[in-house]
Amino acid sequence: MEQLVMNSIEQSLDNNQPLSFQTLASIRSLVINPSTSDSTLSSVLNALTRSLQLSRDSVFLHHVVKLLTDLSSRCPHLSPVAIDLLRSNSLFTSSDSPRLVGESLSALVSLTSSQNDVDDARFVSLCLSPSVSVRLWLLRNAEKFAVRDSVLLAVFLGFTRDPYPYVRKAALDGLVKLCEKGDFDDHDVAQGCYFRAVELLCDAEDCVRSPAVRAVCGWGKMIVVSTEERNKQDLADAVFIQLCCMVRDMSMEVRLEAFDALGKIGLVSEDILLQTVSKKVLGMNKEKIYKPIEGLEISASGAAGAFVHGLEDEFSEVRMSACYSLRTLTVFSLRFAGEALNLLMDMLNDDSTVVRLQALGTMHHMAISNNLKVEEIHMHRFLGTLFDSSSAIRFVTRKILKLAKLPKLGLFKLCIDGLLGNLETYPEDEVDVFSVLFHIGRNHGKFTVCMIEEVSSELEPAFGGKLGFDSTRVAAFLVLAISVPLSHEKDARGVPPRIFSYAVTWLGRISHALSDLMSQETLLAYLSECSRSSIISLADFKIKDALPTVEGDMPSHLCSDVGSPVRIPLWQQDGETSDHHHTKLWSLGKSATHAEYELGEHDELRKSLNLIFRKVKDLWPLVQLGCTNEALKAIRACKEEVASYTAESPGSAGAVAFTLQYLRITKLLVAVWEHLLLTKKLNPYGVGKLELLLAKLDRRLREINNRFIGLSKGEELQIMDLIVVACLLRLSKVEIYCYETAMKKLSSTISHVEFLHKEGSIEPSHFMVEVKKSLHEVGSSIGGNTCKPLLFKKLVDSFSFEQFVLCASPRYLNAELEVPGNDSESPLPFISGIPASIPLVITLHNISSDNKLWLRISMSEESTQFVFLDLNLIRGNNEVRKFTFVAPFYLTPKAVSFTLRVSIGMECMGETLHLVKTFGGPKCELTYLSPEKEIFLCKSTKC
Amino acid sequence: MAIDCLVLGAGQEVGKSCVVVSINGKRIMFDCGMHMGYTDSRRYPDFSLISKTGDFDNALTCVIITHFHLDHIGALPYFTEVCGYRGPIYMTYPTKALAPLMLEDYRKNMDRRGEDGQFTSDHITECMKKVIPVDLKQTVQVDKDLQIRAYYAGHVLGAAMFYAKVGDAAMVYTGDYNMTPDRHLGAAQIDRLQLDLLITESTYATTIRDSRYGREREFLKAVHNCVAAGGKVLIPTFALGRAQELCILLEDYWERMNLKVPIYFSSGLTIQANMYYKMLINWTSQKIKETYATHNAFDFKNVQNFDRSLINAPGPCVLFATPGMISGGFSLEVFMQWAPSEINLITLPGYCVAGTIGHKLMSGKPTKIDLDKDTQVDVRCQIHQLSFSPHTDAKGIMDLVKFLSPKHAILVHGEKPKMATLKERIQSELGIQCYCPANNDTVTIPTTHYVKADALDAFIKSCLNPNFKFSKSSSVDKSYSGSNDSKAIPGLQVSDERVAEGILVVEKGKKAKVIHQDELLHMLGENKHEVQFAYCFPMRTERLEKTRSEDLPSADDLLCGLDKCTLISLLSTKLSNELSDGNIQDLGEQLQVESFCLSICLKDNCPHRISDSVQNDSEVVFCCCSWSVADEMLAWKIISIMNNYTLPLEGRLQVHI
């Protein structure tokens, strides 16, 4: 059969006749048939090649293209020949039929990954040809060709005017993609695209309106970023309102896009946000007209009731999207959060389970970010979800309750009643309910005590020494009661000791419920300890500290950034992210040498610290939008919060200090970032300020790098990321950098990172990979002496702030200096010209004798003197050393009195000092371990 | 061409909706309702206005009914059977199914009251035989010219908005609609159409309603609290619509909360209606449609039939009973039994007619209600008032009008003062001409009329090829913006001119043609003429004090010595400083900006020179310019710049070069 077909082909070719369609059809059957031999196939290819010279008929060529595609996908070893054929003049450049060119192009694209077939001019000319299908195909596959972005932009923008709706749609999709790439700095371009996208919001076709919404969102954000600070807010508001106008569209897809987009705008002013939850136009918004760009006007009333409509939409997808978008927006305004909560509470009556879950998820998110203010009128509805037949819903509700902080006893009782009811209706929830009760009890020590007093009669053994029949209820109260000594509130005590001994009888069930908090032995020890005396001894604190993290209420569960989760049911997403989080934690922890042993300790604190890190990470988009002040404010608040932890738990000073240091660094990074954003006008004094900031940042980074030991490899790597960013920031500013030093530092850091990667077998972050690659390019292309600020700027842009996960307890290298009895009233005596002795009481924390410590004693910048502290001569363990050291000061001036500044510094290896001024001083940069101490000296009156 | 819109009912009132629209020779009657408030002739629309002779078949092309409420369909049997209309009647499938139930129910009530129903049971049956049912989004060709199409309207089961198109004129009649979904019906849904006229209801012309969730929450809370305390709940409702919505709500809640309290339906219309709902699942909300495959939402799991013996059975329960306003019947019977206990709950519909018990309960909380002379009922139970409404609110109306953006809008089915407010809003905020005619008024609005034109080859070819242009100016562009007022447009603009380039040629007695501009001359057989302006004007030159030791040459010498090129380049520098846009080309002896062309004129009697005497000829250089019409503005701008400019010679010249 094969032979037969081949013969007929040969015959017609020999006669110089083009192949008939029938022959082509039989060729196709040969190609498709899996049993056709390879030799036949290659002769088919030959025949096709020959036949191409005979006919230029476009229908014929069309078939040939199809056959070639099939042939080369069938046997890959023939594909190079086929591809060459496709590329050859006969097919590819036949200008008479753009459709054919399109076909061969798409065949080529599907067969090869090379992009060199089409250049800018060819791409444009093909797009402009009359064939609509080719145009559409090219627009949709534009990114597969090596076409410059600027050309693409022009083409896409132009085709938003095409009369064919699908071409308009493809063009808009292209514009959105370009916008996401974000390489366009030109304000005019962004405005032009935005304007066009806004026009297309009124398109007659649904399929155009929905990408138009995306384009408005994308380019809207772009113009917000590219405008100066004082107009930002208004612009962002205008874009937001523009999107709000689309939430009443008749097409579900468009509405869905609109709500997805609303959640992405970010910075929106409170007035507008409040308007979105009220269908009536609020007074303050009545006359407000925004003019984002020339020719566009939009009234604030357009935002009226956007979320009200969204939450009562017919389609559950839209309702979910609206719920989801609320979560990002509630962060900005407490008032709005309150109003939104009213709506969300109503969503708990929704007929779709996924929507109810999403609403609860948003509430949980609000609870984590401290925006959840549940009022009494909501309680009925909210606690109603504890009786919901869906266990996922009950679970999320309880998760919110774990975080709840209730202001009134009444509310507290309602909650407890709700949980008890839950337990009664769904006994299978017992484990989780007990766990929640325990948490609630710890959060509300005083209320719990009141509650227990009220129900104490129920808890007492009934006649005959047996506990009541309603045992689960009693067990629940007992769980609540035993949480009191571990309460977060001070002086919350007063649970009679005998309660604890009752609890022992339920040890099995209770410890099962609290298995994630403590082991049965610990629980037993704890209960017996508490049952002995009502005064809580120190031992309890140990237990308190020993409470490990509760996996279940790791706050990152719900708020993890998954693009748009609207289409994923929540529980699924929930599980995924928590898994992801878990593996991340695990992989980071794995490399830690001793972290595993310590994992059990200080977990409560670490949990809250990780929460802080998460907050910081969530702030980063704000910074990128240019809302520096807001971000700084938030970081400051975080700092205050962290600072308050110090007093609470003495054993974890290291972690707290680390977090504080990290926050300081972030703050500086934010400040520096602001300068980076203002690309256009950097005034000269700005340069000075930036230089100052960068120097400060370097110092802080050096501190965090050197003053903490016991960090895991993963943690260290994250710090390295920051150091690299700092270097890049320096390099990207032409005005500032000292290229040599910064480059040197960069490469040394990178090599250190590489070393860490190898040792810990951890995947480097995406950013690091980028940096390494580019650095390699810089190094190889030139001797390394030319500056490439643009390259570095791009690298900096690729930096994404990742959440720091603290999983070890770092130890903090710290020193305290004291000169007993010295102050300005009672100075130390000295005789000018003769060395003075300064008796210093020094306390060192966590410093081993391997560290090289120096005392820096300075009177002024010029007269600074370093004294080496030999730790080998000083006894004591590495944990804490306290000793007295008499430091000599040689350069006493001729003065009646003077002050000295003393501080302790540690040499950090690997960072050589450039400005060697002092003789016999340290060889490397110093990291200062203590604040500067001022010492007063006065001329001795004795002589 | 125009659309005439004769409002026979629901003009500035609610009740007997009936609008007769004439478009392009076709006459459509939208809705044929009755007024429930009257029993005299005012009950029905004044059909004599349609045709004096009573020949309705020729006067009307068709009748379209939007939904089964009596104020939209009540007069239909009368119109067809008594008045004798025999033309086509269109309504949706559910309306056709449910309308006889409603009409029959109404007729029975009338009979019971001993009123003259004016139509009989047979009339209803006969009338329904004439009905042609339509499906959603099904385009029905009524006759050669008239197309109609139904769109989903929410409101009640089977409610539709109707689109009608005759020739180029198109309009939409909304009937009653709801822009927000409820538990069993979806929100109104319509395409973005090109409309000349939109006739919309305006029941809530000024009200803006809150989210329905709040109302649902209150209702559920009240019911739940009552049954949790062991009480009985009486829900008097109308048979169709609200009963199903509330029942779905309760059913869902029961399911979620695992409640076991029985829900009862009093027998009768409600159960029959439930059957229809079950069949017409395609007309319900998205959620019900989606879950239909696994569970029909109208298959109420917890609902049981009620038996009179259960009235005094112990334990909590929920009962749906007709009629809605406790005006009699079964709901009254149950009310009398349950009202005296304070643990029971009665929910009342949003609106109760004066005189009914429902109305008495709504107005303040009476402790005793006199049913008649002998019977008195102690009312100690709790009362909850429902405020559900299947009509859209003011914002919904605005949203719909904005979405459709018709050229004109007419408001019907509302209260006069409120309609006036809404009319003002539509006109001021949306810029759409709006009317709210009274009953028996006629509104005439102009319509679009399209002229068909042939297109010639070159034009078609140019249309196929994209031809977009980018402009980067902040100038005011009138041609571009669609609205009348020119608006300033941002820096980067894109426009595609392939269609704009066409030229419409209408020759007497021939069909209109659209041609490409290149074809125009050929077609007219004419040569191309261009209007060129020319102007020669003097420019002052400035003679500076001698700054160097050389002698100053005279002006003539200057012109010869200093070659023209220098002067031109001097001017070009000046121009490029002054003109922000425009492409200034220095062509040596000439200066070119677009079509504007300037050269130094050495002729003494240049024909373009306007010879008003200049003070000193020797200090003047003449510039001769020419330009075409298109650049007139530009030309005068340049000339005015030149006029205000003194050519510096010598010293400053050095500075410039």
- Residue B260 forms contact with A (CB below 8 Å): no
Q: Give the pLDDT confidence score for residue B375 in this predicted structure.
A: 79
Q: Write phi, then psi, for B293 (nearest 5 degrees).
A: -60, -35
Q: Give the pLDDT confidence score for residue A542 in this predicted structure.
A: 47
Contact of B135 with B151, CB cutoff 8 Å: no
> Of the candidates A161, A249, A294, which has its C-beta nearest B490's C-beta?
A294
A807: amino acid identity, one letter: C
Chain A hits for B286, CB-CB cut-off 8 Å, are 314-316
- A250 contacts B403? CB cut-off 8 A: yes
- A129 contacts B252? CB cut-off 8 A: no
Q: Residue A240: is its pLDDT beyond 90?
A: yes
- Highest mean pLDDT: which range of A342-351, A518-527, B60-69: B60-69
- Report how far residue B385's alpha carbon sits from residue B392's, in angstroms, rounded to the nearest whole number: 20
Structure tokens at A365: 């998110």
How confident is the model over B353-396, as pLDDT tens digits? 677 788 888 777 777 887 777 778 888 888 888 878 888 999 99
DSSP B41: G
- Report how far residue B229's alpha carbon sits from residue B218's, in angstroms, rounded to the nearest whole number: 17
- B489 contacts A308? CB cut-off 8 A: no
Chain B hits for A196, CB-CB cut-off 8 Å, are 494
B148: amino acid identity, one letter: I
Best probe of the A interface among B152, B192, B301, B493, by most A CBs < 10 A, is: B192
How confident is the model over B247-283, as pLDDT tens digits? 888 988 898 888 889 998 876 666 777 788 888 888 8
Give the dihedral sign, CA A182/A185/A190/A192. Answer: negative
**pLDDT: is A602 or B402 the higher one?**
B402
* CA dist list (Å): B10 to A141, A645, B171, B201, B353: 56, 71, 18, 9, 19
How confident is the model over B201-239, as pLDDT tens digits? 998 899 888 888 888 888 998 999 999 999 999 988 876
Q: Residue B172: is its pLDDT beyond 70?
A: yes
> Of the candidates A158, A192, A250, which has its C-beta nearest B190's C-beta?
A250
* Catalytic residue annotation of B: 201
What mean pLDDT, rounded, does chain B reach? 81
Q: Looking at residues A74-98, what average pLDDT do you find?
A: 69
* CA dist list (Å): B610 to B387, B591, B614: 83, 21, 11
B175: amino acid identity, one letter: G
Query: Which of B 152-191 lie inside 8 A of A, CB atoms?
Result: 179-181, 183, 186-187, 189-191
- Tokens 């395409």, located at residue: B191
A389: amino acid identity, one letter: S
**pLDDT: is A579 or A237 the higher one?**
A237
- B464 contacts A347? CB cut-off 8 A: no
- Residue B72 forms contact with A (CB below 8 Å): no
Contact of A158 with B470, CB cutoff 8 Å: yes
Confidence of residue A117 (pLDDT cuts 50, 70, 90): low
- Highest mean pLDDT: which range of A746-755, A766-775, B43-52, B459-468: B43-52
Q: Residue A561: is its pLDDT beyond 80?
A: no
Q: Give the pLDDT confidence score for residue A754 in this predicted structure.
A: 80
Which of A417-426, A512-521, A771-780, A932-941 shows the lowest mean pLDDT across its residues? A771-780
Q: Give the pLDDT confidence score for residue A631 in this predicted structure.
A: 80
List alpha helices for A626-763, DSSP H: 628-648, 653-677, 684-706, 713-732, 739-760
Burial class (CB in 10 A: 0-12, 13-18, 19+), A67: buried
Q: Residue A574: is its pLDDT beyond 50?
A: no
How confident is the model over B46-66, as pLDDT tens digits? 999 998 888 899 999 999 999
A699: amino acid identity, one letter: R
Q: Which string of DSSP letters, residue by residue, matches A523-537?
A: HHHHHHHHHH-SS--
C-beta pairs of A20-26 under 8 Å, 24+ apart in sequence:
A21/A60, A21/A63, A24/A60, A24/A63, A24/A64, A24/A67
**pLDDT: is A737 or A169 the higher one?**
A169
**pLDDT: is A156 or A90 the higher one?**
A156
B417: amino acid identity, one letter: P
Structure tokens at A532: 């002995």
Q: Residue A898: is its pLDDT beyond 70?
A: yes
Residues in Cβ contact with A600 at an 8 Å cutoff, skipping those fewer than 6 apart: A546, A548
Q: Which string of DSSP letters, residue by residue, matches A812-842?
A: E-EEEEE-TT-SSSSPEEE-TTSPEEEEEEE
Q: Give the pLDDT confidence score for residue A320 in this predicted structure.
A: 92
Relative to beta strand B2-9, strand B442-446 is: antiparallel
Residues in Cβ contact with A702 at an 8 Å cutoff, skipping those fewer than 6 apart: A908, A911, A925, A927
Q: Looking at residues A746-751, what average pLDDT do you find?
A: 80
How confident is the model over B543-572, as pLDDT tens digits? 544 444 444 444 455 555 456 677 777 777
How confident is the model over A782-833, as pLDDT tens digits? 444 555 667 777 777 777 777 777 776 777 888 888 888 787 788 888 888 7
Contact of A51 with A18, CB cutoff 8 Å: yes
Query: What CA dihedral angle connects A299, A302, A304 and A310, to 10 degrees?
Result: -160
How confident is the model over A502-513, as pLDDT tens digits? 888 778 888 888
> Of the candidates A161, A314, A316, which has its C-beta nearest B495's C-beta?
A161
- Tokens 């769109």, located at residue: B151
Burial class (CB in 10 A: 0-12, 13-18, 19+), B380: middle
> Of the candidates A187, A380, A389, which has its C-beta nearest B256's C-beta?
A389
Which of A575-579, B98-102, B196-200, B399-403 shows the lowest mean pLDDT across its residues? A575-579
> Is the N-terminal amide bond of B323 cis, ω within 30° of 0?
yes
Structure tokens at A128: 């402009």
Instruction: State which residue of chain B sits closest to A387, comparing Cα positions.
Output: B257
Which of B1-10, B414-423, B464-473 shows the lowest mean pLDDT across its residues? B464-473
- Report how far residue B68's alpha carbon sits from residue B98's, in angstroms, rounded to the nearest whole number: 7
Residues in Cβ contact with B57 at an 8 Å cutoff, skipping those fewer than 6 apart: B85, B86, B87
Q: Looking at residues A534-558, what average pLDDT do you find?
A: 42
Q: Please give, rounded to a whole number of angstroms, the shortest distance from the CA of A110 to a CA of chain B.
A: 27
- Tokens 């003194």, located at residue: B646
Q: Write phi, then psi, for A815 (nearest 5 degrees).
A: -140, 145
Confidence of residue A597 (pLDDT cuts 50, 70, 90): very low
Q: Which of B28, B10, B126 has the alpha carbon at shortest distance from B69?
A: B10
Q: Which of A190, A96, A175 has the alpha carbon at shortest distance from A140?
A: A175
Q: Give the pLDDT confidence score for residue B488 in this predicted structure.
A: 41
Q: Residue B149: is its pLDDT beyond 90?
A: yes
**pLDDT: is B114 or A221 the higher one?**
A221
Instruction: State which residue of chain A sits closest to B405, comparing Cα positions.
Output: A202
Q: Residue A56: is its pLDDT beyond 90?
A: no
> Of the candidates A157, A295, A308, which has its C-beta nearest B490's C-beta?
A295
How confident is the model over B10-26, as pLDDT tens digits? 889 888 899 999 998 89
- B395 contacts A279? CB cut-off 8 A: yes
In chain A, how long is the greatest CA-to-CA distance? 128
CB pairs under 8 A between A and B: 133
Q: Please give, rounded to a whole number of angstroms, the shortest distance from the CA of B161 to a CA of chain A.
A: 14
- A314 contacts B187? CB cut-off 8 A: yes
Q: Residue A576: is its pLDDT beyond 50?
A: no
**pLDDT: is A921 or A476 the higher one?**
A476
Three-state DSSP state, B596: strand
Structure tokens at A298: 């939009």
Q: Write phi, then psi, for A57 (nearest 5 degrees).
A: -65, 135
**pLDDT: is A175 or A695 the higher one?**
A175
- A279 contacts B208? CB cut-off 8 A: yes
Q: Which of B644, B643, B649 has the alpha carbon at shortest distance from B557?
A: B649
Q: Residue A575: is its pLDDT beyond 70?
A: no
Percent above pLDDT 90 for chain A: 10
> Of the candidates A305, A315, A346, which has its C-beta nearest B214's C-beta?
A346
Query: Taking CA A10 as the corner, what is the angle to CA A6 and CA A11, rounded to the nearest 5 degrees?
Result: 115
Q: Looking at residues B647-652, what average pLDDT do you find?
A: 50
Which of A275-289, B184-198, B423-437, B600-614 shows the lowest mean pLDDT across its residues? B600-614
- Report how far residue A890's alpha carbon sits from residue A490's, in angstroms, rounded to the nearest whole number: 52
How confident is the model over B574-626, as pLDDT tens digits? 777 777 666 777 777 777 877 788 887 777 777 777 665 555 555 677 778 88
- Report how far residue B643's alpha carbon sits from residue B578's, in angstroms, rounded to the nearest whole number: 13
Q: Looking at residues A884-890, what average pLDDT do you find?
A: 83
Confidence of residue A552 (pLDDT cuts 50, 70, 90): very low
Q: Give the pLDDT confidence score for residue B543 in this predicted structure.
A: 53
Contact of A459 with A471, CB cutoff 8 Å: no
pTM for the model? 0.68
Give the dihedral sign, CA A70/A75/A77/A78. Answer: negative
Indicate the helix (H) or strand (E) that contains B170. strand B169-173
Confidence of residue A115 (pLDDT cuts 50, 70, 90): low
- Residue B399 forms contact with A (CB below 8 Å): yes
Q: Residue A588: is its pLDDT beyond 50?
A: no
Q: Looking at residues A691-715, what average pLDDT do you find?
A: 81
Q: Looking at residues A927-939, what average pLDDT do you find?
A: 84
Q: What is the 3-state secondary structure (H, E, C) of B109-123?
A: HHHHHCCCCCCCHHH
Chain B hits for A158, CB-CB cut-off 8 Å, are 466, 468, 470, 494, 496
Query: Which of B 280-309 lie inside 8 A of A, CB atoms?
Result: 285-287
Q: Give the pLDDT confidence score for residue B269 in this predicted structure.
A: 60
* CA dist list (Å): A487 to A441, A443, A446, A452, A494: 7, 6, 9, 14, 12
- Report how far residue A262's alpha carbon sits from residue A52's, in angstroms, rounded to the nearest whole number: 55
Residues in Cβ contact with A314 at an 8 Å cutoff, skipping those fewer than 6 apart: A252, B181, B186, B187, B285, B286, B287
Q: Which string of DSSP letters, residue by residue, matches B172-207?
A: EE--S--SS--SSS----------SEEEEE-TTSS-
- Report how far residue A817's alpha carbon sits from residue A838's, in angstroms, rounded to the nearest whole number: 12
Chain B hits for A293, CB-CB cut-off 8 Å, are 490
Chain B hits for A287, CB-CB cut-off 8 Å, are none
Chain B hits for A316, CB-CB cut-off 8 Å, are 286-287
